């Protein structure tokens, strides 16, 4: 770990303690008294912003008396969060079980992916937190699936675009009809490539999951998508290490390499593998590597940003960084004008959440813009103002540097 100045307030000592701890967790080892760090408060803060605090809690639970003596307030918080996380995990698993059962009996293919599958590969599955249960259904079965979710007592919180969101108590479900969008500047059509994801599944009893190499390629795409947006957290990289540890020699690296090369993600994957090796000791022989200087910058970007990067970045940063994709040399005023233009007049792909009909009837795009302007002015005014202010700020060249970093990652 290099000496990095984290802009989110995260310090080097906490980060230096975290990665060996996660490595011990993967090896299914508990912390001993001598291993308990002196900067536990800072370490807990870092775990909180990366949704890793249940793992820290689990690693420390064997030393509760020492914790109570040295950190009485923190010990209670650690224990309470551990219990709450375990309880939420049980609720999510029960909900996924119910959904799998109901859809299986109805003969409707419903594939689960991301966290609901990955957590099963962890040494202690309940410690892998997730905000939503992600699942995939065909467009033809969308309305039938919707009715079944309502019959199970779920409330539909969003029914626009490719992802419909349901909630029941503390359990949230994201039901997709498409699992990828186009967002990078590398020219590859990810939306089309992953459009037939249901044809790349396998059954495990009443459950349906994405096939492992295909799912692995999607996980790399998912990390890339978040890196290109506001940020990807340490947990996404831990998922990769756990995934490969689980499958071991069963994993077909030749097939995975073909998929990653076809999707132009080989270079991004190389950076992911390098960080997994640096952080968790994961050994992945991969020819496509990035320079150590770029890797250090990526480490800072990830570690300081938290689960989805919001500790250090927002949507305005994303617009500002993407502004350099056309030219890094144009003047500030011209750059700001172009950013505002793209913010006010997004592409049809970006308007599907506002008006899904735009996908079929492109002539509706101006109407979608008007609807978005109205929502931005009256429903989300503070968010809109903050985004505009953020994209027009002077960030000391950070966005330019991050644009160059992402370009080296093939994004």
Quick one: pLDDT at residue 392?
A: 85
- In 256-340, the DSSP E strands lie at none
pLDDT 10s digits, 98-138 = 999 999 999 999 999 999 999 999 988 989 999 999 999 99
* H or E segment and range at residue 204: strand 201-204
Quick one: pLDDT at residue 408?
A: 92
∠ CA 98-210-85, rounded to 5°: 50
Low-confidence stretches of the chain (pLDDT beneath 50): 3-8
* H or E segment and range at residue 368: helix 365-374
Quick one: pLDDT at residue 257?
A: 95
Question: How far, CA to CA in Å, does 340 sit from each of 14, 118, 382, 385, 391?
Answer: 39, 39, 17, 12, 8
DSSP symbols for 209-229: EE-HHHHHHHHHHHHHHHHHT
Quick one: pLDDT at residue 29?
A: 78
pLDDT 10s digits, 41-96 = 888 889 989 999 888 888 877 655 567 777 777 777 777 888 888 899 999 999 99
The closest of 168, 174, 119, 124 to 145, measured between CA atoms, is 174
Quick one: pLDDT at residue 31?
A: 66
Quick one: pLDDT at residue 172?
A: 96
Specify the pTM.
0.91
């Amino acid at each position: 770990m290099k000496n990095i100045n984290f802009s989110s307030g995260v310090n080097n000592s906490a980060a230096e303690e975290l990665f060996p701890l996660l490595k011990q967790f993967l090896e299914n080892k508990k912390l001993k008294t001598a291993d308990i760090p002196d900067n536990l408060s800072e370490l807990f803060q870092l775990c909180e912003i990366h949704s890793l605090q249940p793992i820290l809690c689990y690693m420390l639970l064997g030393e509760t008396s020492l914790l109570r003596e040295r950190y009485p307030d923190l010990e209670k918080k650690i224990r309470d969060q551990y219990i709450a996380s375990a309880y939420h995990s049980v609720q999510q698993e029960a909900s996924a079980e119910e959904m799998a059962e109901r859809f299986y009996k109805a003969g409707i293919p419903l594939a689960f992916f991301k966290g609901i599958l990955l957590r099963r590969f962890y040494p202690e599955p309940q410690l892998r937190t997730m905000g939503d249960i992600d699942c995939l259904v065909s467009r033809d079965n969308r309305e039938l699936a919707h009715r079944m979710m309502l019959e199970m007592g779920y409330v539909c919180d969003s029914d626009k675009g490719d992802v419909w969101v349901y909630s029941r108590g503390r359990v949230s479900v994201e039901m997709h009809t498409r699992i990828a969008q186009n967002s990078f500047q590398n020219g590859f059509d990810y939306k089309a490539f992953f459009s037939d994801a249901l044809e790349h599944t396998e059954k495990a009893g009443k459950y349906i999951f994405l096939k492992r190499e295909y799912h692995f390629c999607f996980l790399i795409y998912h990390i890339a998508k978040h890196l290109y947006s506001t940020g990807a957290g340490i947990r996404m990289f831990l998922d990769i290490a756990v995934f490969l540890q689980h499958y071991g020699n069963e994993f077909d690296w030749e097939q995975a390499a073909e998929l990653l090369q076809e999707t132009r993600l080989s270079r991004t994957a190389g950076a992911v593998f390098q960080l997994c090796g640096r952080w968790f000791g994961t050994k992945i022989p991969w020819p496509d590597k990035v320079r150590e200087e770029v890797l250090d910058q990526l480490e800072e970007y990830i570690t300081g940003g938290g689960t989805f990067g919001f500790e250090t970045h927002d949507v305005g940063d994303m617009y500002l960084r993407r502004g350099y994709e056309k030219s890094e040399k144009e003047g500030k005023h011209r750059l700001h004008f172009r950013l505002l233009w793209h913010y006010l007049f997004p592409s049809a792909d970006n308007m599907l959440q506002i008006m899904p009909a735009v996908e079929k009837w492109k002539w509706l795009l101006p109407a979608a813009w008007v609807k978005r302007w109205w929502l931005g002015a009256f429903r989300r005014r503070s968010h809109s103002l903050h985004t505009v202010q953020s994209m027009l700020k002077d960030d000391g060249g950070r966005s330019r540097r991050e644009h160059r970093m992402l370009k080296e990652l093939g994004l």
